[in-house]
Structure 1
């Protein structure tokens, strides 16, 4: 593969490497730093791409760096939230969370996860199953949904409640989101990008975060690559439309690890 072809191939997959890295670390900055380190490693040794599909090769190179670094979880401030998140994560079976993200969010098959993590396909499938069980039973919290389509909003509500979380309410506009957050403080926000009144879910979330509401946010969008450029402040957790129940469950469970433990019930 020529340098030009390799660059184009990697460029197509880079947004999804960023998404994965951000979800693992709970931080845009930390996740993008890992993605950048992965690219540097690939450019330094193009042989890591040999014999593998581009996405699998990129994620495999990422994992070599991730494992060698000790898999730290940091936030923008490197503060108490990061310490709490790391404490929660330390109770999980090693590599299970990574396998779950690769499967549910990135859509890799068990044999592809096995190539990325250098385990057998059966071991990869088992790691996914273990992660679903462990993460679903670890933390309970309050989730606010910002979604203007009734059917989708009710579907998201059902998935969140099935995980054992409480739904504080559903907001369909920017104004309603601000009001709902003021009435009942969420531990996590699940937000669509485009709202019923033509306003932006991103704008609503940004206003909430500026008002001292420091919680993780999962955005749902049909165009994830537009929010995975690394050129501006962007979400750490992102689900593509159309989504699956497993994708939502995985993202919510991951994001809850990065919520403040105050007010959460940890088992």
Structure 2
């Protein structure tokens, strides 16, 4: 490991874990990817960028029949989900800025052409729930239900059998979104994206953690790429 400040590395770790999980499509393989990245030499760039770069190098390229290749996934996740500049993303992936611009545009076009899925929204704030509905429908998906409580979420999931769940954590008097998701996943296998203002609180290495986390407030593109990865993302392990 290089001379990057260890405190800065620890501060960047939750974000690298979120990126790795979204990149691989699963919690365990994402965490294994971060472990592999930490065991390799890190580039001489700021700690957060160095961790992202090591993660990107550690994941093997996976052929995709969805039209969105590994480079494009990396760029979209870094710029939309991780909220980095395109210039920083180019540094992380060790490519020219012009190449990054071209590939990010190709990735956006590929996202628009991907197959739609049916989505259950778990959110107790009506305005936020309607905003989520509007955004996912803009991405071409269909919202089959909006649940404001644990009980409603479990009931709607059983009725509608969604292909994806978007869930807030705090449902106020309606309970806990993570508890609702746990109950749903006891009876069906469905990818879940958690939407929260405090993503680092879900990536503490304590208890059961989600594979996909989006920060509030978020851009439509962040939701689009997270949705794509949750539904179509290749489940891969780090290269040996």
Whether 1:33 and 2:32 are equivalent positions in the alignment is yes
The CA deviation at 1:198 is 4.6
Q: 1:18: which partner in 2? A: 17
Whether 1:106 and 2:82 are equivalent positions in the alignment is yes
- Provide closer, same or farther for how the CA distance between residues 119 and 258 of structure 1 changes in structure 2, counting only shifts above 3 A: closer
Q: 2:167: which partner in 1? A: 191
1:1-267 residue pairs with structure 2 within 5 A?
6-41=5-40, 45=41, 48-50=42-44, 52-66=45-59, 70-71=60-61, 87-88=64-65, 91-211=67-187, 213-258=188-233
The CA deviation at 1:125 is 2.1
- Provide closer, same or farther for how the CA distance between residues 192 and 40 of structure 1 changes in structure 2, counting only shifts above 3 A: same
Asked if the contact 2:61/2:70 (under 8 Å) is kept, the reply is no
* Matched residue SS, 1:181: helix
* Matched residue SS, 2:5: helix
- Provide closer, same or farther for how the CA distance between residues 182 and 62 of structure 1 changes in structure 2, counting only shifts above 3 A: closer
* Matched residue SS, 1:98: helix
Which whole-Å deviations, capped at 9, do the CAs of 1:211-248 have from their partners, x for residues lacking one?
1x111000011111111123332111101112222211
Q: Distance in 1 between matches of 2:108 and 2:169?
A: 27
The CA deviation at 1:87 is 4.7
Any stretches of 5+ residues in structure 2 without a counterpart?
Answer: 235-240
Q: Distance in 2 between matches of 1:184 and 1:198?
A: 20
Q: Distance in 2 between matches of 1:258 and 1:62?
A: 16
* Matched residue SS, 2:110: helix
Any stretches of 5+ residues in structure 1 without a counterpart?
Answer: 73-85, 260-267
The CA deviation at 1:258 is 4.7
Asked if the contact 2:86/2:101 (under 8 Å) is kept, the reply is yes
Q: Distance in 1 between matches of 2:233 and 2:146?
A: 22
* Matched residue SS, 2:132: helix
Q: CA RMSD in A?
A: 1.9
Asked if the contact 2:124/2:174 (under 8 Å) is kept, the reply is no
- Provide closer, same or farther for how the CA distance between residues 33 and 93 of structure 1 changes in structure 2, counting only shifts above 3 A: closer
Asked if the contact 2:150/2:180 (under 8 Å) is kept, the reply is yes
Which whole-Å deviations, capped at 9, do the CAs of 1:97-139 have from their partners, x for residues lacking one?
1110000001111111111111111211222221121123122
Please give the TM-score of this superposition, normalised by the length of structure 1. Answer: 0.82
Greater Cα offset, 13-22 or 228-237: 228-237
Which whole-Å deviations, capped at 9, do the CAs of 1:141-196 have from their partners, x for residues lacking one?
10000001111101100011111111001000011111111221100000000113
Q: Distance in 2 between matches of 1:181 and 1:208?
A: 7
Q: Distance in 1 between matches of 2:116 and 2:101?
A: 25
